Structure 1
Amino acid sequence: MSHARNTDPMRASPRCGAQTRSGETCRAPALRGKARCRMHGGAWGSGAPFGNGNARKHGFFTREAVDERKLVRTVLIEAEDFLRKLPAGSEAICSPSESGTRRTLPGTDSAPSRLTNDRK
Structure 2
Amino acid sequence: MSHTRNTGPMRASARCGARTRNGETCRAPALRGKTRCRMHGGTAGSGAPVGNGNAVKHGYFTSEAIDERKFVRAILIQSETFLRELPAGSLTNCNPDVSGTPESAPGTDSPLPRLTNAGK
TM-score when normalising by structure 2: 0.51
The 3 A distance-change label for structure 1 pair 85 and 104 is farther
Q: Counterpart in 2 of 1:84? A: 84
Matched residue type, 2:74? T
Matched residue type, 2:45? G
Q: Counterpart in 2 of 1:93? A: 93
In the alignment, does 2:47 pair up with 1:34?
no
The 3 A distance-change label for structure 1 pair 24 and 55 is closer
Q: Counterpart in 2 of 1:73? A: 73
Distance in 2, Cα, partners of 1:95 & 1:48:
62
Who wins on radius of gyration, i.e. which is larger? 1
The 3 A distance-change label for structure 1 pair 76 and 107 is farther
The 3 A distance-change label for structure 1 pair 107 and 46 is same
Shift of 1:91: 9.3
Higher alpha-carbon deviation: 83-92 or 73-82:
83-92
TM-score when normalising by structure 1: 0.51
Q: Counterpart in 2 of 1:115? A: none
Deviations 1:16-52, CA, capped at 9 Å, x for gaps: 35577897853x5422221222233211222345788
The alignment yields a C-alpha RMSD, in angstroms, of 4.5
Distance in 2, Cα, partners of 1:30 & 1:91:
75
Higher alpha-carbon deviation: 76-85 or 50-59:
50-59
Higher alpha-carbon deviation: 40-49 or 79-88:
40-49
Matched residue type, 2:33? G
Structure 1: gaps of 5 or more residues:
1-5, 110-120
CA contact (8 A) 1:93 1:105 kept: no
The 3 A distance-change label for structure 1 pair 14 and 60 is same
Percent identical pairs in the alignment equals 65
